[in-house]
Amino acid sequence: MTFSKSIIAVIVSAICAPSWAQTDNSKNEIESITVVAPQPDGIKISSNKLLTLPGTGNDPLKGLEALPGVVLATPNTGGPVAQPAIRGSSTNDNLYLTDGLEMGYIFHNDGLSIYNPHLIESFELKTGAWSSKYANANGGVILTQLRDPNPDTPTNVVDLSFFRSGFLYEQAISQDAAFYISFRESLVHTYVDNFIEDEDFSFSVPPRNRDYQAKLIWDIDNKNVIRVTASGAKDYIEIEFDEDGRDIGKNPDLASGERYQSYFHSQAISWQYSGDDLESMTSVNVLTQNQQEREGDIFRWDADISKLIVRSDNQYIADSFTLDFGIQLKQSDVDYLSSGRLLPCNTEFEVCPPSYFSPTFSQQGSLSVNDYHAYVSLIGNISASWDYNLGLAYVGTDNNSQHYLEPRVRIGFDVTDTQKLSLNYGVHHTFIDDYQYLIPQYGEPTLEASESTHYTLSLDSNLGKGLGLKTELFYKTLDNLIVANPEAQKRCLTQHVTGIPKFDDVASGKSYGIELLLNKQLTEDWYGWASIAYSKTERDNPLTNQQFNSEFDLPWVANLVLDYKWSENWQLGAKWRFQSGRRYTQVQSATPYIETGNQPLFYIPKYGEFNAEQWGNYHRLDIRADYQTQLFGLDSTIYIEILNVYGSKTVQELEYNVDYTDFEKDYQFPDMPLPSIGISLNF
């Protein structure tokens, strides 16, 4: 889609922004010696050193892309530049929780997270057969922990740059209470047009985003803590196409342009209790969202979504076992307006046919969905060498009266004092929260949750001197995936499709592979990790009798991350990534469509086998140097970063001309060395 190319400037701003910050690093630095810590069902990363990781734009959450099992999938339409697709699942199959709370989304349209990096304490990636505590995900679980306000050493931070500005204000209320508030806004809209080389479109509303976080903590006593939190973000962009340009020439339905907007606000109160043998966290979260998407006359979606989420997580600690149990209740109300062409399509399984022939529709309505999740998990030791985690989750929704039991099992065995073997099994479901699929005219209200079954076998080895090796085999099956009914896709004006079901949840898939992670904990003067993964991801569409490689099938992914403290003043870092090329479908020919006269209105492309082709391998080296010094009498850090040091160029897509006889190559960004510089002033 053209939109993916239109946000190049946003990527530039996010990654290459020189920033001026006023902060006290000694107050904000998170005390932790572990950068990468293997978990029974994933990996946990402390963020204090990831602020200096090359290529992340000082955003610790971008460290996700350097972990095994994660590929970056560029969306077909609006939204973030790329989101993590985990072990062959869709980017929509992930669960994101922040401080145990659901957010509207966590990545901006420039690819960076919605969190002030000074607040991120750690994040954890769970990749398969995770605890029954987490439900409604088939891909992965990403847990972000924001630090609490510090009443003893409050912090004030001002960030100023050409691309993003903001502040963090932290203050003590009393000895037992403190709060902070953070706000940031992008500034790329002021000059984004300078980066756009494509003359077929322009910004009628340049890309912008903003976010905020606020937290108040009250230590009532040594057993009870109250937290009040508020978070939110907004992203929007609108583009228009040249009436004589390539995009409208290929699809007249794009003449009205494209618009993407999303925002959310989350307000929550939580109570943490820590007793002698019982710990609990109870929260009430009010989440309001707005989603706006307009792709020319093809599709329009405008939805206001309100969610009330009540959750309680508890842990009982006995002498010989630990019992986790909890419940979550969620009520979702959706008011929507949808219109456009009645063309069912899921780009994960097909290339969409021309929209021009499909009839139009318009619908306004509301949905109300109640979901629930209850779980129990028993953790203990069978013997000195054997341990277990046996869990059961019960999930359900009143949408089509669905309810499922999800068993989770982990068996661990200490092979030696330095090696541990773990076998994990889990059944997972993801309820449909892309509500467009459920509205009566465009979607199918009878669609049900997708299902996955995970098997993992992992070996954790302590190699000494801070070195650890995690080796994991995984196999995952996917069922009840949504596909469009080809008989409901109108491919000429005379075709009759009224009354034919538009979508069905009958597709399936599987993913399997091996992942290795070698990590060096922060000891002596350096830390880092190296990972390599090989996997296969396949899909099966019974409606078209097609079996093919998924768009998330990037068999080889390797990462090398190194950070070295050269001296008291200098810290050097490097990150190298290798990834198999993206799958794509080749255009073989095109047929002109003529209504009147001799001039074609547009051309209808004929495609080869779906996802049968693959671009060349992608690889890139980013480096960074941080220098501690004194400026204006203040402790300061100056950093220099270079992305894509050796100018690697990898094709991302082909931009065809109107009749598909020629094309231009669109390369993954950046396709040349790209330097940046920043400075941090510490008060």
Summarised one tens digit per residue, pLDDT across range 349-368 is 999 999 999 999 999 999 99
Number of domains in the chain: 1
What pLDDT sits at residue 39?
74
| Number of other residues whose CB lies within 10 A of the CB of residue 657 | 14
- Which residue range forms the structural domain that includes residue 167? 43-682
Answer whether residue 1 is part of any domain: no
Domain CATH code at residue 667 = 2.40.170.20
**Quick check: helix, strand or coil at residue 235?**
strand
State pTM to two decimals: 0.89
Answer whether residue 15 is part of any domain: no
Contact indicator for 626, 637 with CB cutoff of 8 Å: yes
154/121: higher pLDDT: 121
What pLDDT sits at residue 165?
82
Summarize the confidence of residues 514-539 as an average pLDDT. 87
pLDDT category of residue 31 using cuts at 50, 70 and 90 = very low
The phi, psi pair for 492, rounded to 5°, reads: -160, 160
d(CA 406, CA 38): 24
Residue 15, pLDDT > 50, answer no
The phi, psi pair for 428, rounded to 5°, reads: -135, 155
Alpha-carbon separation of residue 582 from 56, 64, 107 (angstroms): 22, 19, 22
Summarize the confidence of residues 154-180 as an average pLDDT. 84
As a three-state string, the secondary structure of 51-81 is: HHCCCCCCCHHHHHHHCCCEEEECCCCCCCC
Contact indicator for 653, 661 with CB cutoff of 8 Å: no
The residue with tokens 């949408």 is: 399
Residue 26, pLDDT > 70, answer no
Provide the terminal-to-terminal Cα distance of the chain, rounded to the nearest Å: 46
Amino acid letter for position 301: W
Answer whether residue 24 is part of any domain: no
Amino acid letter for position 101: L
Answer whether residue 246 is part of any domain: yes
Q: Which helix (H) or strand (E) holds 13?
A: helix 8-16
Q: What is the pLDDT of residues 600-636, one digit of tens each?
A: 999 999 999 999 998 889 899 999 998 888 877 766 7
Q: What angle do CA 369, 372, 378 make, to 5 degrees?
A: 165
pLDDT category of residue 195 using cuts at 50, 70 and 90 = low
Q: What is the pLDDT of residues 289-348, one digit of tens each?
A: 999 999 999 999 999 999 999 999 999 999 999 999 999 999 999 999 999 999 999 999
The phi, psi pair for 324, rounded to 5°, reads: -100, 135
Answer whether residue 29 is part of any domain: no
Residue 109, pLDDT > 90, answer no
Answer whether residue 359 is part of any domain: yes
Answer whether residue 532 is part of any domain: yes
Contact indicator for 189, 208 with CB cutoff of 8 Å: yes
d(CA 624, CA 578): 18
What pLDDT sits at residue 653?
81
Contact indicator for 252, 602 with CB cutoff of 8 Å: yes
Residue 108, pLDDT > 90, answer no
What pLDDT sits at residue 436?
92
Among candidate residues 493, 484, 253, the one with its CA nearest the CA of residue 357: 493
Residue 148, pLDDT > 90, answer yes
Answer whether residue 9 is part of any domain: no
Give me the percent of the chain exceeding a pLDDT of 70: 89
Count, residues in the chain: 683
